[in-house]
Amino acid sequence: MACRPEALVAGLLHGAADALPVSSSAHLAAAEALLESPPEDPVGLHAGSLAAAVVVFHREALEILRRLTWRRVAMHLAAGAIPAAVGFALERRPMPLPLVPGLLAGAGALVAGDRLRGTRSRWDAGPADGVWLGVAQAIALWPGVSRNGITLVAARARGFAPAEANPLSREVGVPVTLGAVLLRRAPLRAPAVASFAGAAVARPLVRVVDRGGPLWPWAAERALLALVLLRQSRAA
């Protein structure tokens, strides 16, 4: 079956949003509503953006593997086990979680995180940091919150320097996303390839966040998107 152009556009937007602290789930919902495109499997789209992250930041991935210690392994275990447990519970007992409140809550977290200016290096992250990052990733299961956004704020709250927080957020997100993709056996269809392309194209913006740029513009974009989604829901 041929892929609809609307699905490719939605995949592109999802991939770009997934690489930034702006909520890929909210942007995907907005794109599908505006383009009148059937819902796409978000896990499949995450597979595309995950592949882009590994390819685009392959040198960073190799450095992470080179510096891997038992302390950092423990950090990853904590950061991954907590959202995995919460996700399993939600799979067994699904709960209707509204999108717009999550989008606004994530925007508020970014505004608060903008004021946090620590000095720690991401290579100092340990098990206690993993617990905080794991709780943040569990919170991000609420649609609209944004996994990247909330873990970025959590890293800053733990005293990591602004230029260290986003790479750490990206690092802890890879195992969780990979686990979800493998568990769901997400198919790599054309929209997933489009998500790969969107994430790759967003690299310059990701670099801005990596350098510790201000977070309030992303919060403002999220608030604007929340208004768009509210108008769509009222018009439906």
User: Where are the domains positioned within the chain?
Assistant: 5-235
Average pLDDT, the chain: 90
Which one-letter DSSP state was computed for residue 123? G
Task: Tell me the per-residue pLDDT of 121-180, one tens digit each, with 9 for 90 and over.
Answer: 999 999 999 999 999 999 999 999 999 999 999 999 999 999 999 999 999 999 998 888
Task: Tell me the per-residue pLDDT of 8-39, one tens digit each, with 9 for 90 and over.
Answer: 888 899 999 999 999 998 988 888 877 777 77
Give me the helix-helix angle, 147-157 and 127-139, nearest 10°.
Answer: 150
Cα(12)–Cα(219) distance, rounded to whole angstroms? Answer: 21
Cα(16)–Cα(80) distance, rounded to whole angstroms? Answer: 23
Q: pTM here? A: 0.90
Q: What is the band of 182 on the pLDDT scale with cuts at 50, 70, 90?
A: confident
What pLDDT is attached to residue 234? Answer: 72
Q: What percentage of the chain exceeds 70 in pLDDT?
A: 97
